[in-house]
Structures are given as C-alpha cells and as structure tokens.
Homo-oligomer: A and B are copies of this chain.
Amino acid sequence: MTAPSIDMISWKQQLILYRLAEMGAYRRTIKVSTQFLAEKISFSQQTASRYLIELEKIGWIKRSITAEGCLITLTDTGKTQLKNLYLKLKALIEAAYPLSVTLEGVAFSGLGEGAYYIKQDGYRKQFIEKLGFDPYPGTLNVRVTSDYDKKTRQELDNYPAIEIEGFKNESRTFGPVKCYPALINNKARGALILAFRTHYDSSVLEIIAPHYLRNQLKIRDGQKVKMEIFTMP
C-alpha cells in the first residue's frame, strides 16, 4: 500500500551489518577486532570502531569489548533489518511485474460523474475494506498525453490489481472495477481506478483519495500531476 523504500542514511549501516552477519554474527556471537573488521570493509580501524559504536547505539548489534576484540551478535532488530532488505529484494527480483510504475498527466474537470459512483455503498464499503480509506466523493481526472505515459497506462491492464466487485441495487447494475494504490505528486495517498465507465478512453486516469486532492495538493486544471502506481504482486 505505501511505497516500499530504504533509507539512504541507514543503507551504509545495513551493509556493515551485512558484513558482520556474513562473518557469522547472524547466527552466533563472533569475536572480531576493529582492525579485522576494518580490513573486511576496506576502511580504517577508527572508522570500523565508529561504525560498531553507531550500530550499537541504534540497537542493531549487541557488543561487549574484551582484550582480544569485540564480541558481537545481531539483535532481533538487526536481524529484522537484514530480513526486510532480503524480502524487498526478493519481491523486486522474483516478481513477474514491476512493483510500481509512474504516470504523468494534466488535471482536467470532468462531469462530476465519478462522485455518483463513489457514493454508491456497494463500492464504498469495498474501498474502505480493500484500500484502507473512505474515499472523498469525487475523482481527480488526469489526461495522459506523452507516448511513454500512454504506453505505461496500457501495460497497467496486465498487472495484478485490487479487484472491486460489481453489484446490483434496486435500479441498476454496477460493474466490477480494478484499482491500484497510488502516491500522488509524491505526497498524497490515493488510488487509481480502472474504470467506472466507458466514455473516457484509456488516456484518462481517475483518481480517488481520502481527501479532496485539488485542495490538498493545490491542483488546478491544466497543471501537471505525477503519480506512482503500486501493483499487487
């Protein structure tokens, strides 16, 4: 649902943690001198020492200093850290689809028809359950123009999505809908909807979100909108 990502600041620490794990600290308590670690990571003894202090401070390793070197074990937090990195790489490499794609287009005003659909309880309940938010009654319409974005939009049809089931009420039938969690303008959570009806072609994107995006992100007609779409592998 939210963007998976790894913090720049902690990446280096993750690599040091990995090197310690590689030396056995993932499963055992290892004895290692700062000098030895320094050679392994191609840095100075002083820097190796500093890294160990930092890793202990953030709680990724447990360290006790002896006359022959440091005794080091990964903490549960440290192990989780490596495990998460592993799982993210696994998803990235073994998934059949990209984890996310970005789309870009220009905001425009539609007929306000989206609101009618969103308000339907048959849809709304499923949005809350499957997307995790109660959508603002209205859609942000975005028209994609560039060839790249049109192509990307079409590829999306093949990627796995969250399925919203169709339903009937007393007066009519509502069809099933696919949607993808999205991050709009790198800030606001929402979802891309494919597609309530047929009178827009596939160059139009309809976005729902928990808040009124035009206010939240100060979007006006004609402005560029960028979004990151997350697939569901």
Please give the residue numbers on chain A whose beta carbons come within 8 Å of chain B beta carbons, in ascending order: 4-6, 8-9, 11-12, 14-15, 18-19, 21-24, 26-28, 30-32, 36, 39-43, 68, 71, 82-83, 85-86, 88-90, 92-93, 97-102, 104, 146, 148-149, 152, 155, 186, 226, 228
Given A12-B11, A102-B30: A89 and B92 interface contact (C-beta under 8 Å): no
Q: Which residue of B lies closest to A103 (CB)?
A: B31
Contact between chains at A90 and B86 (CB < 8 Å)? yes
**If A86-B93, A186-B36 touch, does A99 touch B42 (CB 8 Å cutoff)?**
no
Contact of A27 among B14, B40, B97 (CB under 8 A): B97
A4 x B27 contact (CB < 8 A)? no
State which of B22, B148, B228 has its C-beta within 8 Å of the C-beta of A92.
B22
Interfacial chain B residues near A228, Cβ < 8 Å: 23
This chain: copies in complex: 2
**A129 → B minimal CB distance (Å):** 27
User: Are A4 and B24 CB-contacts (below 8 A) given A11-B11, A93-B82?
Assistant: no
Q: What separation, in Å, do the CA atoms of A200 and B65 have in the docked complex?
A: 31
> Helix, strand, loop or mixed for chain A's interface?
helix
Q: Is the CB of B19 within 8 A of A6?
A: yes
CB atoms of A22 and B85 under 8 A apart = no
Q: Are B101 and A18 in contact (CB under 8 A)?
A: no
A87 to chain B, nearest CB (A): 9
Of listed A15, A21, A22, residue having the most chain B CB within 10 A: A22
Given the complex, which residues of B lie within 8 Å of A43, measured CB to CB?
Answer: 8
Give every chain B residue within 8 A of A5 (Cβ-Cβ): 19, 22, 40
Q: Give the CA-CA distance A15 to B86 in the complex, in Å.
A: 13
Add 19 more A-B contacts to A5-B40, A11-B12, A28-B101 (CB < 8 A).
A6-B18, A8-B42, A9-B42, A11-B15, A18-B88, A22-B88, A22-B92, A24-B99, A24-B101, A26-B92, A30-B101, A31-B102, A31-B148, A36-B102, A36-B186, A36-B226, A68-B146, A86-B86, A86-B92
User: Given contacts A5-B40, A11-B11, A146-B68, are A93 and B83 in contact (CB under 8 A)?
Assistant: yes
